[in-house]
Each structure stands twice: as C-alpha cells, then as structure tokens.
Structure 1
Amino acid sequence: MSDSQLFEDTFTITSINSQKYDRVSRISCTSTDNLTTFTLDINTELYPCAVGESLSMALASTLSLDGKDEDNAASRGWRDVGMGEHTLANEYDYVCHGKVYRFEEGSTSGNMSVFVSFGGLLLYMDGPYNKLVPLRIDYVYLLLKK
C-alpha cells in the first residue's frame, strides 16, 4: 500500500439489491478475512457485478503515484491528466471521488463504521479500528477492480 492509499483489501460480493433504481445497485461485500464489510451504491451500467465475484477495493487520498497532494486538481479537474501520465486510476476499473462525512462505533467491540458519499452514491464500511484508522473527514477516491 502506497502513502496515498488509506485502505486496501479484497472482498467478495455477498448480495446485490437493484430494486430501487435502474442503473444503480447496492452491493454488500465481505473481506476475505471476514473482518471488514461494506455496502456500496454502484453504477452497474458502468460496472456490472455479480454475487460471488471478488473485488479489490482501495481508498486513496490522491491518484498521484508518488503520493503528492493534488493542489491544482480543483482547478483542472481530477480526470484531466496529461498525455501519457500514469495515475493510480489506471490500475483500477471503477473510480469515484467523494467525501468521508461520518464515523461511528462499529457493530462489534474494536470496530468502527465509516460513511462516504460519492455525489449521492453512498459507501458504508464496518471493520477493525486499526484497518480504518487512516481515514479522516476528507475527500477520498474509491477504486475498484475485479
């Protein structure tokens, strides 16, 4: 895990609820060590998912491979990268930018819960404090790959 990556783990999709919206589904996943779970609203038109699939998920503070802050990202847009410029997003299939907005005590002792909004698509994570402690109320990138 690089300096810019705040969290990284591998998960298995345990359920998919696509009843409420046409192109958005709520997926529930459990980590391979069964310690961390997350529920995520995802655009399944862009990133189709199936129960039982394995996903690699990362949360990062920047897409820069050297971990430098993106001071000018607000002025030029996070997707506007130079020709041939390689970022963390190149290594993943699905990328969102959002804000960590709330923390709570987790479902069990020693766990914490984290809430992130990606422009209305929500992420809820529950896991051991020591795995989620790098997260803070700030902007993050969600990165997924199969």
Structure 2
Amino acid sequence: MSENILFESSFKVNDINSAKYDRVSRIKAYNDNQDILLTLDVNTELYPLNVEDRITVALALSLNLDGSKDDGKGWREVGRGEQTLADEYDYVCHGKIYRFEEGSGDNIKVYVSFGGLLLYMDGPYASLNALRIDHVYLLMKK
C-alpha cells in the first residue's frame, strides 16, 4: 500500500437496502477479519452490487500514481491522457471526511460524505487513524 492510499481492504457485502431511493442502495459489508464494518451509499445504477459480492475498497489522498497533490484540479480533470489510480478501479468518488467518533474499545468511527452519498466505517484505531484528513477519494472494484 503506497503512502497515497490511506486505507485498503477487501469486504464481503452482507446487506443491501434499496428501499429509500431508486438508484442508490446502502450496503453493509465486513472486511475479511470481521473487525471493520463498512456502510456505504452506492449508485447501483452505475455500479450494481449483490449480497455476497466481494469488493475492494480503498481511500486515497490523490488519484495521481506518484501520490502528488491534484493541484486544485477537479477530479475528472486529473490525469487526462495519463494513468491514474482511477484506472485500476471501477467506481470512484471524491468526498469530505466530516466526523470522527470514539467507538467501543479501541474502535473509532469515520464519516465521509461524497456529495450526499455517505460512508461510515467502524473499526480499529490502528486501521482507520490515517483518515484524519479533510478530503479523500473512494475507489472500489469487484
């Protein structure tokens, strides 16, 4: 895992709730160690998921492969004509980490907003502490 990628883990989708919106579903998934809970709103029209699917989720500082800053460019303008982290994943969002909370034991809770689509992670401090920054890219693949 490069310094650019703050978090990366494989998850198994345990639950999908599509009741509230037409094109957005809230998924719940646990990582392989069963110590991190991921709850994520996904545009399932763009990226369909099913219960039991295995996904890899990464959170990164930048889409640049060398980890350099995006220099204020919009995320869609980063890397035009050059390879980026986005090329290695199927689903990419840019968002803001807006809250941290203490969880039970050594766990912490992380909340991220991707323009209204929310991410919530509850897991060990050691795994999630690197996310104490403002903005992050969500990268996901099956």
Matched with 1:125 is: 121
Picking from 77, 83, 95, the partner of 2:92 is 95
Whole-angstrom CA distance in 1 between matches of 2:101 and 2:11: 22
Matched with 1:82 is: 80
TM-score (ref. length: structure 2): 0.97
Whole-angstrom CA distance in 2 between matches of 1:20 and 1:29: 19
Unaligned runs of 5+ in 1: none
Picking from 97, 117, 142, the partner of 2:138 is 142
Residues 92-136 of structure 1: per-residue CA shift (max 9 Å, x gap):
000000000000012x20000000000000000000000001011
Partner secondary structure for residue 62 of structure 2: coil
Whole-angstrom CA distance in 2 between matches of 1:44 and 1:118: 15
Equivalent pairs counted in the alignment come to 141
Partner secondary structure for residue 117 of structure 1: strand
Whole-angstrom CA distance in 2 between matches of 1:116 and 1:72: 20
Q: What is the percentage of aligned positions where both structures have the same residue?
A: 60
Matched with 1:24 is: 24
Whole-angstrom CA distance in 1 between matches of 2:41 and 2:61: 20
Residues 62-100 of structure 1: per-residue CA shift (max 9 Å, x gap):
001101111142xxx2112322x0000000000000000
Whole-angstrom CA distance in 2 between matches of 1:21 and 1:82: 33
Matched with 1:113 is: 109
Unaligned runs of 5+ in 2: none
The letter of the residue matching 2:91 is Y
Matched with 2:15 is: 15
Moved over 2 A (4+): none
TM-score (ref. length: structure 1): 0.94
